Every structure is written in C-alpha cells, then in structure tokens.
Structure 1
Amino acid sequence: MDTQFPQIISVDDHTVEPPNVWQDRLPKKYADTGPRIVRAPLKEMSFLGGRFKPVMGRPGDDGPIGDWWIYEDLHRPLTRLDTAVGYSRDEIKLEVITYEQMRQGSYDVPARLADMDVNHVQSALCFPTFPRFCGQTFTEAKDHELGLLCIRAYNDWMVEEWCGPDARGRLIPLIIIPLWDAELAAAEVRRNAARGVRAVAFSEIPPHLGLPSVHTDDWDPFLAACDETGTVVAMHIGSSSRMPSTSADAPPAVGSTITFANCCFSMVDWLMSGKFERFPNLKVMYAEGQIGWIPYILERADVVWEENRGWGGVAEKVHRPPSELFAEHVYGCFFDDAFGLRNLDSIGVGNVLYETDYPHSDSTWPKSREVGEAQMGHLDADTVERIVRRNAIELLGLTDDGLWAP
C-alpha cells in the first residue's frame, strides 16, 4: 500500500444538536412544547437488553446533573455515550453530562472541523442524536403537525447551518423524514434534493417502530422520490429503536458485540423485497454495521433464491440472484473490521465505505488513519482510495475533491 493514506470521507459520524435548533426555528407558539433543553438531576438510568431507560429527577433532588431534551412526555438526557471522544475507555460510562462536559466538536462546526483535521478526515456525513438515527423521536410523538415542523426545522438546520458556509463543504447533509406518511416523506426528500442533499436516514427494520415493512407497497412514494433524485437511503444500527440483544437482563456488552445483526436482517429484507428491481436507481447503505458478515449472507441468500424461490414467496418479484442486486444497490460501512477486509473479494470493493463514528464510544478518533493503515496494509493503493473516499464521492454525489457542493 502507498505510504500516503488518502484523506478519509467518513460516512458515519454524529452531530449533537445545539440547544437552539428547534427554539430558533419553530413558530413562537411552540416555544414551550417543542424540543428544548433543561438542566436537571438524574434519578436513575439503565441500559439492559438493548433498552435505554433514564429517569429525570426534580430540581433540588440528589443525583448527577445533566442537560435533558424535553419534548412532549420524552425526557432524554445527554450522556457520555453520545460524545465519548477524548476520554479513555475506562472513563466512558453510562452517565448524564452537560454541554460543557462534552467535546466541543460534538456540536460546534469550527471545532468539529478541527477535530476532523486531527483525524485525517476531510469530509463527514453526520447522523442525528436527539431525533435518533432516523428521526423516530418525531414519529413517536403525539402531535404529528408539530413533529413535521420539527423535522423540517432539523433539516433546515442541517443544510443551512451544520453544513452551511462555515463547514466549507466538509460536512455532508443527511436529512430525516416523517416516517408516518410516505407521501410527506417523499416531499421532504424532493425539497432537500433541490438544494443538493443526497442522503436520507431510514429505519433498518421499520416494523420495530410499528411501521410497514419494505415488503409492502406503503413506502413506494418515498422510494420513488429517492430513486428519482439519487438520494441514498442511510440506515444506522439502532434506527429501529431496538438494539440486538438476547435477553432483558443481558449486559450492554452482549448487544455491542452483535450490533450488526439488525443490518443483516434488514439487508435480507431488501434483497428479497423486489424493490431494487422496481426502483433501479435506489441505493442503500448500512452505517456502523461492519462488513465481515456480508459474504456468508449473500451466499445463503443466493442458495435460497435458487432452490427455494418457488415456495419462498419471491419468485414473482426477485428475478436475479440477491448477490447481483447487492452489488448494484447496497453499501456496507465499517470503522474496524480486519476480517471483512481480508474477505473483500467476496463483498466487492465498490460496496464498501469507511467511517470514524465520531464522537461515539466506538469511534477510532483520533487514530482512524492508523487503524485504516493497519487493516488495509495488504491492499493496493487504488483499492484503499476507493474504500476510504472514492466510493463515498460517487455514492453521495460529492465533488471530485470530496466536498459537498449544494
């Protein structure tokens, strides 16, 4: 491999929304009901069986103080897991924090760019925090009229401020949609595609959110909009509000080991749905799902399609081997997967993207370059270039220099 490691385009980083995102953008009548930050103590918090359960105390109660998002009945604290970079592994615990206790690059554009420079990162696509990974916070809300305004406000902030002039094209916009209405979702995709956005967050397993599966026709207006505009459907682990686990009392380490599982199930859904043949320009990507599991799943899917499609319910809608559909439509994203890179030929060089997961606890910051060099040392320079930046440039419609240009 060439000793000059390419500048990274990370397809999975995260933004922690500043306190004013919705307060500045919603109509004034929603000042007391839209998302807002309050400072309050923590009463108790657990994360077992893939479920996160914080309980906010009242002013004056004992307990660690943190900043909490308040929205309808939701009380959601900022936690150390939201922004863990800069802390040693042993210091990263499930605890509430304030904005002052997090790394400034989590929510501030100039500070983020500086942290990207430290990490050899040129450009980054960022998933939400308070809205959750596909905006399901607003889908679960009671007032969908306000929820739609919140989604539009977030997308305006994402495009105009987070990815605005101060970002100098180095931050790549990712929008959210009203998941409860595919027509409204399609309209939001088109509204943002008109200003250069080429990525939309979606749930890897919508039925976990009480929504239709991709095997139905319910999502077709949304998928048609993505197909027509070249908007990539980006699915992050946990975007179904359920992390994989094995039991209600399984410690977080169990779920953390098998985080790829929902991506695996989701990819089989898409490959067997017929959607890639109905929408030939549709592209999907799996953020933080890693890639080492992909070869066997493609092998098994092809066997099932070849031998069992007659009774398997896919003969009329899936007319090509799933592995062929994968090659044309699906992208796996990884930040630390030496096994997957050793089996790259079975995945496809053109179907792999690199990420740094800043500022989460799994992040390779500030050593994403060193991790990449160690794991890609057996690959030729052209292959490394494609994985680290060129595939992302082509998928997300960036400039040849790797920047977002509205």
Structure 2
Amino acid sequence: MEPTSLDQLRDGCWDVHKRIDDMDVNGVAASMCFGNSIGFDGQTFHKAPDKTLSLRHMQAYNDWHHDEWCMAYPGRFIPLAIMPTWDMDATVAEIHRCAKKGFRVVSMNENPTVQGLPSIHNDYWNPMFKALMDNDMTIALHIGSGNPAPHASMETPIEAWISTMPLSVAQGVADWLQLEELHQYPDMRIIVSEGSIGWVPYLMERADFSNWRHKAWTRSRFQDIKPSELMKRHFAHCFLWDPYGLKNLAEVGEDNVTYEVDYPHSDALWPDAAELLWEQVKNLSDEQIDKVTHLNAIRWLRHDALFEHNRREDMTVGACHARAAAKQVDTAPKSSGGSVPTTETRPVTSGDVMEMFKAHAEKRAKEVEVA
C-alpha cells in the first residue's frame, strides 16, 4: 500500500513528539532522519525552476530540521543538512552556516550527474570538499539517490528489484573509492546509508585485485596503498538485517559498521528492532556490540550530543521501552487506505509499481496546474 496523505501514515512520520515515542518503542536512542518529501538528496529543491527561491526554501528546511525537529529533543536526533549543490558558492556558504548551527553531517547524491551536475571527480566539487573538511563534517550517501537498482523488466516480480537494492550501492561506493580527495584529506568521512554490509568484503577484495592486475596501465592513484585500506579509513556502512555481514564483521571492519532502522519504510524492523538486532549480534563481543549499536555512529557522525544531553542509563533499550510502555504507545498496524500497485491476484511487478508512481506524479502535476 502506498500512502498518499498524512492521515495514512503513522504520526511519527511527521510529528516529532510521536517520532520520539516510536523510537522509544523500538529501543532507539538516536536517529538521523532523511527527508522523504524533499528527497534524500534534496532533489525537490534541485528540480525547482526558480533557484533563488529554492535556495531560500532549502535554508528554511535546514533551519526547521535543526531548530524545530532535532532540538525539540537535543541529542535524540542527528542533524542532517541538505546542500544547494547546483550553486557551489551557495553550497560552501550553506556548509559554513549549518556548521555554526551545529550540523555535523550533510546529505548529497552519490552520483550528481543524474542531477545534471559534474561527476564527483570534477574540480567543480573542490570548494565543497574543502569546506566540509574545514568544518569536520561527514558526507552521507543514501541508497538509490544516484545509482538505483535496475529493473530486469517491467514484467519481473518487484521482489527481484527489492532484493538487489543494497547491492546497487556497490557501484556508487566503487566510484567514491576512486575520489582523489580521499588521498588529499585523510580524515574525510563518508557514511553509506541503507547499503548493508555483506557485499563490502568482496568489493574491497575485487578492488584490490583490479588494482594489482591493472594499475600498470590505469595510472591508478593506488600505487602505495590498497583500495581496501582506503575503504576502511574513509567509509562507514549501515545495516538493518544482515546476519551474513555480521558473521564476517572482521572482514568488513568492526570500526566501520553501524546499525540503522529505516523507519517508516517497509524494510524497517519496527517496533522490534532491538530484539531482532540482538538475534544478529548476540555472538559478538560486548565491545563489538557497543561499536555497531552506537559507538561507531557517534564517532563517524560526530554525535557526542547524545550523551551530552541525555544520561546513558536513560538511553538503554530497557529505558526506552519503559517510557513507551508508560505512555502506552500504540504499535498496531495502520491501514493506510492508500494506492495499490494492482488489484490482480498475480505477483506485483516492477511495471505495476512504476505505473502507480507515474499516476501519482501526473495527479500531483495536475493539482499544481490548478493551484
């Protein structure tokens, strides 16, 4: 079911107080919230024809996100800024402005060419990378923004596409792994959201092999350091359900993995995230569990605010659950009454979903014309 209005969503999707309740139910101490309505990479602002007005709206969004959403419960949310990357001077200015407000993370498209912008390897991005490093800020790349998983065909059952979504992230990570600035800025941090971790060891192995066998003619930057070494120095990877990846945690890097929830999407393990996470990590050491559940996230996202504003004993799974129980937070599934991809009894296909989204877009366009 595809919700089409706020009353078809859980209130926690748009009401910050209800969001905290839903986090407590789930045993989640802190969350970094990507904006669905504006696009994970701020594509709503990128597509707006009036870029002067769009910049003002983007700044207003960043201010609202920090001041009214995140600061409503200091430490419980990780502020995430959107950048006007269509204008590099404005981007640099917004980075400095947001850093002064307290942002430590920015979101961007992992493949900006889909937005009509230069690739990440173009000198266009040099001022942005410098501004981010000057302010000790982390870059967040969200799955599907620039390199979405391809549909095998419009007749293919949609679960085939859903199954490959995390794997599509490897293309973007391989691209960023070749970024010259990784050699220039040894402290640059990149966190890959919703990418999972099971594929990471193979990508590092393949990157090392490719470099070994081809660097004689590719003029590779990797002459004295392996791609896998740079991956572990610069990249953190997020998972929500990846028992295989955790069995190979040593290969991924125990300092490079952090848990995520993906609320409110259908992949999200809500309201049982803590219990289902325990099933995945119970064979790890206490030190490893601390790292993947919160310490790595605090370090990679510079989120010391969690324990600066909240007592550690109030942020445990048990404490969160106790608050939710005291409030009697309702976790019953909500029947959205939204759109369905098809009323037929066969498996839903990629084509069904694409047609549903196309119909939504056409409806919104007509509503805009009328307005």
| Structure 1 length-normalised TM | 0.73
Is 1:111 the equivalent of 2:25?
no
Looking at structure 1, the residues matched to 105 and 140 of structure 2 have their Cα atoms a distance apart, in angstroms, of: 7
Looking at structure 2, the residues matched to 247 and 322 of structure 1 have their Cα atoms a distance apart, in angstroms, of: 34
Aligned to 2:115: 209
Alignment counterpart, residue 34 of structure 2, candidates 127, 134, 138 = 127
Alignment counterpart, residue 58 of structure 2, candidates 133, 151, 155 = 151
Q: How much identity, in percent, do the aligned residues show? A: 37
Aligned to 2:70: 163
Alignment counterpart, residue 203 of structure 2, candidates 271, 277, 297 = 297
SS of equivalent residue, structure 2 residue 255: helix
- Go from structure 1 to structure 2 and tell me whether the alpha carbon gap of 1:251 and 1:145 turns closer, same or farther (over 3 Å shift): farther
**Aligned ranges for residues 23-172 of structure 1 at < 5 Å?**
93=1, 95-164=2-71, 166-172=72-78
Looking at structure 1, the residues matched to 44 and 306 of structure 2 have their Cα atoms a distance apart, in angstroms, of: 35
SS of equivalent residue, structure 1 residue 218: helix
Aligned to 1:279: 185
Looking at structure 2, the residues matched to 117 and 371 of structure 1 have their Cα atoms a distance apart, in angstroms, of: 15
Aligned to 1:179: 85
Offset from partner CA, 1:255-312 (integer Å, 9 cap, x none): 2111123320111111122220122221111111100000000001011122212322
Structure 1 position 204, deviation (Å): 1.8
Structure 1 position 158, deviation (Å): 0.5
Unaligned runs of 5+ residues in structure 1 are 1-92
Alignment counterpart, residue 370 of structure 1, candidates 275, 293, 305 = 275
Looking at structure 2, the residues matched to 273 and 399 of structure 1 have their Cα atoms a distance apart, in angstroms, of: 28
Looking at structure 2, the residues matched to 404 and 276 of structure 1 have their Cα atoms a distance apart, in angstroms, of: 33
- Go from structure 1 to structure 2 and tell me whether the alpha carbon gap of 1:219 and 1:249 turns closer, same or farther (over 3 Å shift): farther
Looking at structure 1, the residues matched to 161 and 115 of structure 2 have their Cα atoms a distance apart, in angstroms, of: 19
Aligned amino acid, residue 99 of structure 1: L
Looking at structure 2, the residues matched to 174 and 145 of structure 1 have their Cα atoms a distance apart, in angstroms, of: 22
Looking at structure 2, the residues matched to 96 and 359 of structure 1 have their Cα atoms a distance apart, in angstroms, of: 12
Is 1:397 the equivalent of 2:302?
yes
Structure 1 position 242, deviation (Å): 3.9
More divergent stretch after superposition (326-335 vs 268-277): 268-277
Given that residues 123 and 402 in structure 1 are in contact (C-alpha distance below 8 angstroms), is that contact kept between their aligned partners in structure 2? no
Is 1:197 the equivalent of 2:103?
yes
Is 1:354 the equivalent of 2:259?
yes
Looking at structure 2, the residues matched to 404 and 323 of structure 1 have their Cα atoms a distance apart, in angstroms, of: 36
Cα RMSD, aligned residues only:
1.8
Aligned to 1:339: 244
Unaligned runs of 5+ residues in structure 2 are 311-371
Alignment counterpart, residue 230 of structure 1, candidates 136, 140, 144 = 136
The structure that is strand-richer by fraction is: 1
Looking at structure 2, the residues matched to 216 and 223 of structure 1 have their Cα atoms a distance apart, in angstroms, of: 12
SS of equivalent residue, structure 2 residue 82: coil
Given that residues 172 and 404 in structure 1 are in contact (C-alpha distance below 8 angstroms), is that contact kept between their aligned partners in structure 2? no
Structure 1 position 172, deviation (Å): 1.2
Looking at structure 1, the residues matched to 150 and 73 of structure 2 have their Cα atoms a distance apart, in angstroms, of: 35
Offset from partner CA, 1:1-32 (integer Å, 9 cap, x none): xxxxxxxxxxxxxxxxxxxxxxxxxxxxxxxx
Aligned to 2:359: none
SS of equivalent residue, structure 1 residue 153: helix
The structure that is helix-richer by fraction is: 2
Looking at structure 1, the residues matched to 32 and 274 of structure 2 have their Cα atoms a distance apart, in angstroms, of: 17
Structure 1 position 179, deviation (Å): 2.1
- Go from structure 1 to structure 2 and tell me whether the alpha carbon gap of 1:402 and 1:237 turns closer, same or farther (over 3 Å shift): farther
Given that residues 40 and 142 in structure 2 are in contact (C-alpha distance below 8 angstroms), is that contact kept between their aligned partners in structure 1? yes
Given that residues 30 and 306 in structure 2 are in contact (C-alpha distance below 8 angstroms), is that contact kept between their aligned partners in structure 1? no
Aligned amino acid, residue 286 of structure 2: A
Given that residues 122 and 402 in structure 1 are in contact (C-alpha distance below 8 angstroms), is that contact kept between their aligned partners in structure 2? no
Given that residues 135 and 177 in structure 1 are in contact (C-alpha distance below 8 angstroms), is that contact kept between their aligned partners in structure 2? yes
Aligned amino acid, residue 257 of structure 2: V
Offset from partner CA, 1:182-203 (integer Å, 9 cap, x none): 3321221111111211111111
SS of equivalent residue, structure 1 residue 159: helix
- Go from structure 1 to structure 2 and tell me whether the alpha carbon gap of 1:371 and 1:325 turns closer, same or farther (over 3 Å shift): same
- Go from structure 1 to structure 2 and tell me whether the alpha carbon gap of 1:248 and 1:185 turns closer, same or farther (over 3 Å shift): farther
- Go from structure 1 to structure 2 and tell me whether the alpha carbon gap of 1:129 and 1:187 turns closer, same or farther (over 3 Å shift): same
Structure 1 position 247, deviation (Å): 3.2
Alignment counterpart, residue 285 of structure 2, candidates 363, 380, 383 = 380
Alignment counterpart, residue 174 of structure 2, candidates 244, 268, 274 = 268
Looking at structure 1, the residues matched to 241 and 108 of structure 2 have their Cα atoms a distance apart, in angstroms, of: 23
Given that residues 119 and 368 in structure 1 are in contact (C-alpha distance below 8 angstroms), is that contact kept between their aligned partners in structure 2? yes
Structure 1 position 136, deviation (Å): 1.4
Aligned to 1:244: 150
